[in-house]
């Protein structure tokens, strides 16, 4: 009798410690169940080396390095290759086994692939350190059953390229000119520059503006790049105000690095508004973007300034729906310099399905151009939401809902067993 007691199991022998352990284990399992995607389409990626350094490179020379991409996932996976950064255009990718250019590679499950990274240093680049980032990204895969797409995974390698070698920095200023303008319009300073060196340079232009003997303004520009053995008109501006009419002088200085190439005095006038004749024409009218319900598209107008001075131009677009005027889509005022053509843009939200007609014209200096028309059709059933990958559907919630129901059922059973065991233990003590 006594020897058999240890082999007999009853609810009275379930201790509170046992129940706590059991409850903790079940909760852990259920939480893990809820957190895992269903079905599991987790993809992975690893890239080596994490950094690439090219030191003491020479202009016009090609360099190579090997990049290894690992697929630690169970399914085979496709990866896109791309580069970003100031030196991204210097980089290209080739399959190590075939030597063919690649932008996408397929890697078997739990395997790797080798890619040759070629770096072509431009022949006209200045000495310095240039950066880029190589990205290898999983190609999104559709999940069966309409569950959306797999999560995008990304690996990257940072690239540093140091360019050295002999460089010649030389240039010549051919002409400097300043235009007369109307008050409220920009005064335009134009420097005709020839780069006679062997690297791309950015000449620095500094201009002091005087009225009489008093200095009224100063502006600097060094953002224009000029390639070797080429000539460029470098244009910079001084924004005037409507009360600045009169005769002015300017002192323009052009330099390369620490070397001053030329300093020249200029004379120009700021004339009363309306001095120059204003003429222009609407050269084009179109839209940019997909005409889908509840999306915003761009209305773009081309305007050519054919007058004697700069103008501020504005696009006025009347919006008709099924033949009825329902709205206007107007742009901001846009500066169009003399003898130049510019694009002026306004925005339109498509809130209905059906046929739109846009009648647009340009308003400038109290005048307006001819009217042009474009037609836009928004088909039924089209929307920006319908163009997504399908995530957010009710079907995507089935798995966590079922998991929650299972969890509630397990917890209810545990509570019932625990209560019964406590009652039996209390009876035994009595």
DSSP string, 246-280: EEEEEEEEEEETTEEEEEEEEEEEEEPTT-S---E
* pLDDT value for 228: 85
* Per-residue pLDDT at 329 exceeds 80: yes
Average pLDDT score over residue span 120-137: 93
Same domain, 62 and 143: yes
- Find the mean pLDDT for residues 370-381: 92
Is 390 among the domain residues? no
Segment 153-177 mean pLDDT = 92
Q: What is the mean pLDDT of residues 107-113?
A: 91
End of a domain among 246, 271, 296?
271
Mean pLDDT of 407-411: 58
pLDDT digits (tens, 9 = 90+) for 191-210: 999 998 888 899 999 999 99
What pLDDT does residue 421 have?
A: 58
Of 33-37, 109-113, 179-183, 238-242, the range with the lowest mean pLDDT is 33-37
Maximum Cα–Cα distance across the chain: 123
Residue 393 lies in a domain: no
Task: Identify whether residues 233 and 317 lie together within a single domain.
Answer: no
Mean pLDDT lowest for which of 310-324, 376-390, 411-425? 411-425
**The pLDDT of residue 21 is above 70:** no
Residue 252 within a domain: yes
pLDDT at residue 183 in the model: 95
| Same-domain pairing of 85 and 20 | no
Model confidence pLDDT, tens digit, residues 28-83: 545 544 554 444 445 678 899 999 999 888 888 899 999 999 998 878 889 999 99
* Position 412 pLDDT exceeds 60: no
Q: Which of 20-24, 105-109, 153-157, 310-314 has the lowest mean pLDDT?
A: 20-24
Written as six digits, the tokens of 7 are 């082999």
As a whole number of angstroms, the distance between CA 319 and CA 326 comes to: 6
User: In this structure, is residue 391 part of a structural domain?
Assistant: no
Same domain, 54 and 75: yes
Distance between CA 61 and CA 123 in Å, rounded? 8
SS3 326: strand
In total, how many domains does the chain have? 4
* 265 and 287 share one domain: no
Count other C-beta atoms under 10 Å from residue 35's C-beta: 9
Q: Who's near 278: CB < 8 A, 6+ residues apart? A: 307, 308, 309, 311, 364, 365, 367
Query: Does one domain contain both 259 and 317?
Result: no
Last residue of a domain, one of 271, 289, 316: 271
Spatial distance between the Cα atoms of 224 and 111, rounded to a whole number of angstroms: 47
Task: Answer yes or no: is 249 within a domain.
Answer: yes
Instruction: Note the pLDDT of residue 5.
Output: 42
* Average of per-residue pLDDT across 130-149: 75
What is the CATH classification number for the domain harbouring 230?
Answer: 2.70.50.30
Same-domain status, 416 and 375: no
Q: Report, in this order, helix, strand and coil percent for the chain, each rounded to 5.
A: 15, 50, 35
* Whether pLDDT at 290 is above 70: yes
Looking up residue 291, the CATH number of its domain turns out to be 2.60.40.10
Query: Is residue 157 situated within a structural domain?
Result: yes
Instruction: Based on the fold, state whether residues 52 and 129 are members of the same structural domain.
Output: yes
Tell me the average pLDDT of the chain.
Answer: 83
**292 and 226 share a domain?**
no
At 2 the pLDDT is 45
Shared domain check, 159 and 51: yes
The answer to whether residues 160 and 182 belong to one domain is no
Q: Is residue 399 scored above 50 in pLDDT?
A: no
pLDDT of residue 364: 96
Inter-residue contact 189 to 240 (CB < 8 Å): no
What would the mean pLDDT of 259-288 be, rounded to a whole number? 96
Q: Which domain holds residue 197?
A: 171-271
CB-count burial class (<10 Å; 0-12, 13-18, 19+) for 21: exposed
Domain boundary among 103, 133, 164: 164
Instruction: Assess whether 149 and 50 both reside in one domain.
Output: yes
Residue 317 pLDDT > 50: yes
Q: Which residues pair with 104 in a beta bridge?
A: 80
- Give a yes or no: residue 30 inside a domain: yes
41 assigned to some structural domain? no
């Amino acid at each position: 009798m006594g020897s058999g007691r240890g082999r007999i199991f009853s609810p009275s022998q379930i201790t509170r410690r046992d129940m706590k352990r059991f409850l903790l284990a079940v909760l852990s399992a259920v939480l893990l169940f809820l957190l895992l995607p269903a079905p599991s389409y987790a993809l992975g990626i690893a890239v080596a080396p994490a950094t690439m350094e090219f030191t003491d490179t020479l202009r016009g020379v090609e360099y190579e390095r090997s990049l290894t991409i690992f697929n630690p996932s169970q399914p085979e996976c496709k990866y896109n290759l791309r580069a970003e950064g100031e030196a991204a255009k210097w980089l290209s990718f080739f399959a190590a086994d075939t030597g063919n250019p690649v932008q996408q590679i397929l890697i078997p499950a739990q395997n790797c692939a080798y890619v040759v990274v070629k770096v072509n240093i431009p022949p006209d680049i200045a000495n310095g350190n240039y950066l880029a980032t190589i990205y290898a990204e999983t190609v999104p895969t559709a999940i069966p059953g309409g569950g959306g797409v797999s999560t995008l995974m990304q690996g990257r390698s940072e690239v540093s390229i140091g360019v050295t070698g002999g460089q010649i920095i030389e240039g010549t200023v051919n002409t400097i000119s300043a235009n007369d303008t109307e008050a409220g319009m920009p005064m335009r300073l134009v420097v005709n520059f020839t780069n006679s060196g062997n690297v791309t340079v950015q000449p620095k232009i500094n201009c002091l503006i005087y009225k009489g003997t008093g200095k009224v303004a100063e502006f600097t520009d060094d953002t224009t790049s000029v390639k070797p053995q080429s000539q460029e008109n470098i244009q910079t501006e001084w924004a005037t105000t409507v009360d600045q009419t009169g005769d002015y002088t300017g002192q323009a200085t052009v330099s390369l690095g620490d070397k001053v190439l030329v300093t020249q005095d200029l004379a120009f006038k700021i004339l009363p508004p309306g001095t120059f004749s204003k003429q222009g024409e609407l050269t084009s009218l179109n839209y940019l973007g997909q005409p889908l319900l509840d999306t915003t598209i761009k209305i773009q107008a081309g305007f050519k300034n054919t007058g004697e001075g700069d103008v501020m131009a504005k696009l006025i677009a009347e919006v008709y729906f099924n033949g009825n005027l329902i709205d206007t889509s107007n742009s901001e005022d846009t500066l169009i310099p003399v003898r130049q053509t510019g694009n002026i843009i306004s925005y339109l939200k498509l809130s209905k399905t059906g046929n739109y007609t846009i009648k647009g014209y340009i308003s400038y200096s109290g005048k307006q151009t001819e009217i042009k028309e474009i037609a836009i059709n928004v088909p039924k059933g089209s929307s920006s939401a319908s163009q997504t990958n399908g995530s957010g559907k009710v079907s995507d919630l089935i798995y966590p809902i079922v998991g929650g129901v299972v969890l509630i059922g397990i917890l209810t059973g545990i509570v019932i067993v625990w209560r019964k065991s406590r009652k039996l233990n209390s009876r035994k003590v009595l």
